[in-house]
Structure 1
């Protein structure tokens, strides 16, 4: 891959949600607020139930800690729909590490992991709310392309739904360091 000129500062470490990492996962998800997720605050009971139901580890889902070489654990990523050639990303940084440019490093590390370890993956996708400008800039900065703007599709606690904005990166673009634009025109329609 041409995008990695220096050694990565963020490594992915497989998470054992029903084992050794259960308490750490509970603490991480209940002690941080994730304002751009459908459920921004979660109780211990809610998180425990989602772990027990397999939300972080099942046939189609794997979760990883994001370990920074100097800062330690900065967040987690959940990869979903892994039996599909287009898996989805759920990236969460701890509050103390947001706004420091680590989102781009984390997204690059996760993208590299997916394309280096999952041979059948041809496209990697993530979605965020329309008002999460930091994540939207991160997607673009990392070579991901906006592919959809789903109007009023993201539920908001206590408010009207917002748009969900979908970004993706193709394996061939990641390998070549290029970006394939989306053909928005609809000729003949």
Structure 2
């Protein structure tokens, strides 16, 4: 499977709106993005500004989703947001997409030391995808992610270090380094 990325530009606004409003994303803050909200985000530069760059995710040249690299002004540690179309989920493609995103970031951004993503605690598929792609859990933010019924769940942060990406390793750390 060949995963690649096509940078988004303002000319993609209508296609981004169509993609986001025609798919559900149950583990995102807006599970069912509505066109007016998507339009407002796009008009505010959500996918193309000094701090964010959006990309179409391509598999064998076919658009299967979108990814955005965020916090690009914090050159040492950008974040990402990934949204695959509903028809492409549950097929194991997420690991390949994450590995390809790492390749994109670490080969085109030499100043990046670490690459991070977050998901909800109940998004078990994405949490496993992070681990399979070489990411390590670094944080567990309790009741930090709003869900669609007005409640909150934990947000879990995963990251991969440049050195681990280069060496195919995972640098562990001691969660219990301070004992009382």
Q: What TM-score do the two structures reach when normalised by structure 2?
A: 0.96
Matching residue of 2:73: 83
Structure 1 runs, 4 residues or longer, greater than 4 Å off: none
Q: Is 1:130 matched up with 2:121?
A: yes
Name the count of aligned residue pairs.
179
1:92-111 correspondence runs (5 A): 92-111=83-102
Deviation at 1:22, TM superposition (A): 1.2
Q: Is 1:10 matched up with 2:34?
A: no
Matching residue of 2:58: 67
Unpaired runs of at least 5, structure 2? none
Q: Give distance in 2, aligned partners of 1:188 and 1:78.
A: 39
Match of 1:44 among 30, 35, 38: 35
Matching residue of 1:145: 136
Deviation at 1:104, TM superposition (A): 0.7
Match of 1:28 among 19, 22, 30: 19
Q: What TM-score do the two structures reach when normalised by structure 1?
A: 0.92
What per-residue deviation string (whole Å, max 9, x for no partner) do you get for residues 56-95 of structure 1? 111010000011116x111010000011111001000000
Structure 1 vs Structure 2 CA RMSD: 1.1
Deviation at 1:188, TM superposition (A): 5.7
Deviation at 1:187, TM superposition (A): 3.3
Q: Give distance in 2, aligned partners of 1:61 and 1:157.
A: 25
Q: Give distance in 2, aligned partners of 1:153 and 1:82.
A: 23
Matching residue of 1:3: none
Unpaired runs of at least 5, structure 1? 1-7
